[in-house]
Amino acid sequence: MNIITVTLPFVLSVAAYLLGSVSSAIIVCRLMGLPDPRTQGSGNPGATNVLRIAGDQGKLAAGITLLGDSLKGLLPMLAAHLLDAGPETLAAVGLAAFLGHLYPVFFSFRGGKGVATALGVQFGLYWPIGLGVAAIWLFVAKVLKISSLSALISMALAPVLVWLLYPQPELIGMQLVITGILFWRHRSNIRKLIAGKEDSIGGNA
């Protein structure tokens, strides 16, 4: 074991966390003269809340936010692949990028719920996995028209897709951890879903 073998996972993971810590929602809202998403709407700095609070600029602002949050997961995984990283490093990098979005060091550790960044990680790990998760999200959103439920169902099935398409224990474990944390971050949404009070896509609350 040489120094490169030891330091590469650490360096990639730190870089992934720092990139994940760049809050697309907050930066987009500042640049477009919109309210801070942490203080408006649901208080979540993510694409759905940006869409909710941005008015006439909502679709553009939310689209840019979604792209930025996805790239935070995608780019570190692609870099790890280019450097021929093993499954342990891929798992560490993916989890670091996801945690960076949830707990950003640049924004007082107050981040989003992680769906777009998790999707970026999945696309970066192996694009058919990301495509499968995205397809499930879109199907559920089309049928049920509830963003949070679409996210929860697609991410609940994500470990199965990793198991089927990239069956490495470390990567299955990474996705199980991401899914578990994502469900925890959506606990208020889950309570609303159980109570029948969760807003549909395009709702105001």
Digit-coded pLDDT (tens) for 177-204? 999 999 999 999 999 999 988 877 655 4
Q: Is residue 40 packed enough to be buried (19+ CB in 10 Å), middle (13-18) or exposed (0-12)?
A: middle
Express each pLDDT in 60-116 by its tens digit.
Answer: 999 999 999 999 999 999 999 999 999 999 999 999 999 999 999 999 899 999 999
pLDDT at residue 176 is higher than 60: yes
Instruction: Provide the 3-class DSSP secondary structure of residue 65.
Output: helix
Is residue 150 within 8 Å of 133, Cβ to Cβ? Answer: no
SS3 110: coil
Tell me which residue has tokens 């992934």: 16
Contact predicate 102/110, CB 8 Å: no
Task: Give the integer Cα–Cα distance in Å for 3 and 68.
Answer: 33
The pLDDT tens digits for 18-31 are 999 999 999 999 99
Averaged pLDDT score across all residues of the chain: 92
> Which of 7, 29, 165, 178 is closest to 96 using CA atoms?
178
2-31 burial, b at 16+ Cβ within 10 Å, e below that, comes to eeeeeebbeebbebbbbbbbbbbbbbbbee
Question: What pLDDT is attached to residue 3?
Answer: 52
Residue ranges per domain, the chain?
Answer: 3-195
Instruction: Determine if residue 55 is left, alpha or beta; phi over 0 gives left, psi from -120 to 50 gives alpha, anything else beta.
Output: left
The dihedral through the CA atoms of 30, 205, 109, 90 has a sign that is: negative
